[in-house]
Structure 1
Amino acid sequence: MKFVGYLCLSLCSLQLLANSEQSPLPAERQNVRQYVATIEQANWSVKTATALQCELSHTIPNFGEVSFVSHSGKELNLQFALKMTRMPDDYGLAKVLSVPPAWRAGEQAKAITDFELLKQFDGDLAKKEAWTLLTELEQGFSPTFYFSDWHSPFDQIAASVNPVQFAGPYQKFNQCMAGLLRYTFDDIAMTVLNYQSNSDELTRESAARLKQIAEYLQHDKSIVSVRIDTYTDSYGGRWINEELSRKRAATLKAFFVEAGIEESKIDTEGFGEKRHVAPNDTPRGRGVNRRAVIQLARL
């Protein structure tokens, strides 16, 4: 027998299936259908590698695809997804075991978790279990999903993830995750910037914030509209403040055009000293009122 023997069910795996509520038949009466890539078929690839998302995937022939996905954000995150060619026709649980390679004779499979099967939906695992699967693959183990076939009361399914040729793509996946942005679209979709007194120059903190937005726009091309509203404090005269707010709006519009947003997608309005959000009789209050409100929308 070729590579399929490498991933044969261990005695403990069969016993676990036989004792589960989903497997009432004795182990010797069960027909286990295995799905696994042979050595020649084993293929891992980094399908997406951007500052917003990293995805590592592997195909299980005649069964489906598994993927590990991490997105940009404040905290490191990871999700595992199992996309079956034929999605579940009923609800149930799959046993997830880490099966050792044949050369580790005598070592038993390790139970990792239960995997929820949802009718007509792909399944997924959260961060902790996803990292466990990656760790097991890195050590040469085969995460394997065991569950009852919803079309046959006599059959069990064993879908295995082949660790062959995993190391190289996994290294690229790790490098991609290290380069993910530490913020998301939701973090910048609504942004308030503040200005220095009597100027269209942003404060240092707001300038840094605008730089973050520019960095994000390099990677997300799905922005469909930008709304820019600018305001001033009440010092300097109403007409002068209206002109200053329009100048601030024009400067920001030019920034977004340079960042790759079509001019037709950008709407601006300068309100001058209207619509204060803080008292104007203190330096702090005036600093709050000297502001631009930026709202981004995407598909």
Structure 2
Amino acid sequence: MFMALSANEAKVASVCGLKFCVAGPTVQATLSVIVELNVPRSRLALCCLLLNLPLVASAWGVSFQTRLEKAEWTVSGDQFECRLSQPVTGFGSGEFVRRAGERAVFRLHSAQNSLSAGSATLIAAAAPWQPGRGDINLGAVRATGGATPFNASFNQSGRLLAGLLEGRSPLVRYSARGGESLEVRLLPVRFSQAYDKYLDCAAKLLPENFDQLKQSRIGFPGGGVDLDPAGQARLDALLAYLKADPSINHLLIEGHADNSGSRLTNRDLSRRRAEAVVNYLKAHGVADDQLTMRFHGERYPLVPNTNNANRAKNRRVAIQLERLPQTPDKPAESSETKALATAS
């Protein structure tokens, strides 16, 4: 059975002296990818040959790859996380996940079977229509097993993304400790449009994620009690997260000092620093009953007060984000009242 190609596909096929192509959807989809990637005509002869070769079994045991005409990239996400993924027939998916405040990581997700622990080698594989290019081995990652056995490094993930934009395929060769092996290949077909949507999603991510903010520190390196620009920027990132995640319903604010002054002086400095943070948060919409303030003077240094650099680190306010169980309504207690009750 034969089928006429589209105008662009016909241009590609004509380089090989073809007017028609075997009516296999994989062949047609591959020709579409070649046109999309603007492959030089000098390289198309090999491609036309490869299009008509049967698939070869992988030397790596079980091999998973979605048929070319069915391969698609999908984008999903919100303020907390963006995902760029491709379903892989019979396996699950490969995906790039970017959390707020972080770079993207690549990982596999097995939909049906939990994988055994082992190692995975990541390759940015050259396409058949790129005979002048070789595969790029990006190194191995340790796999702990399970449905999502590994996260590639930021560097490996970035190079896989760059490779996709060049028409390369992310290729994972997975070796389990028990001797089993498998190969999973993602395809670059229709990647550029999905990548643009992924970038749009990433542009809307929050500055930082919960893990980065849940134990925050506001420094007072100059020794005073007023917030500096760095401290305000940190609090602004925290406020943006609180607005997006209403499940955070309590903040514990704890002021600290170094050992430069007397105990009473240091206790007062730690209180005033904690108050500066509390007042900033309240001025930007955080409810008073969601704040508990404590101050400790010099009692809990981060590092020994043995030099100026260490003393600067100890002049700080610690903020802990919490999700507390909801309790029956009771009279509101101000942060000042709670501070008097919990000061130490």
TM-score past 0.5 threshold: yes
Deviation at residue 92 of structure 1 after TM alignment: 4.3
Q: How does 1:110-259 map to 2 (within 5 A)?
A: 110-112=135-137, 113-114=139-140, 116-124=142-150, 125-146=152-173, 157-177=182-202, 185-186=211-212, 189-192=215-218, 202=227, 206-229=231-254, 251-252=279-280, 254-255=282-283, 258-259=285-286
Amino acid at match of 2:279: T
Deviation at residue 83 of structure 1 after TM alignment: 0.3
Which residue is 1:42 aligned to?
Answer: 71
CA distance in 2, matches of 1:14, 1:114: 25
CA RMSD of aligned residues (A): 5.2
Q: Which runs of 5+ in 2 are unaligned?
A: 1-23, 34-49, 263-267, 302-311, 324-344
Identity %: 20
- Relative to the length of structure 1, the TM-score reads 0.60
Which residue is 1:28 aligned to?
Answer: none
Amino acid at match of 2:107: A
Q: Which has the higher strand share?
A: 1
Deviations along 1:145-191, one digit per CA (max 9) or x if unpaired, are: 345799998xx754321222211221233344456566555357333
Higher relative contact order (CA 8 A, sep 6+): 1
Q: How does 1:58-97 map to 2 (within 5 A)?
A: 58-73=86-101, 77-94=103-120, 96-97=122-123
- Structure 1 contact 141–163 (Cα < 8 Å) conserved: yes
Deviation at residue 91 of structure 1 after TM alignment: 4.0
Q: Which runs of 5+ in 1 are unaligned?
A: 24-31, 235-239, 279-287
State the number of aligned residues: 260
Q: Which has the higher helix share?
A: 2
- Structure 1 contact 54–176 (Cα < 8 Å) conserved: yes
Deviation at residue 129 of structure 1 after TM alignment: 2.0
* Cα pair distance change 1:108/1:150, threshold 3 Å: farther
SS of 2:297's equivalent in the other structure is coil
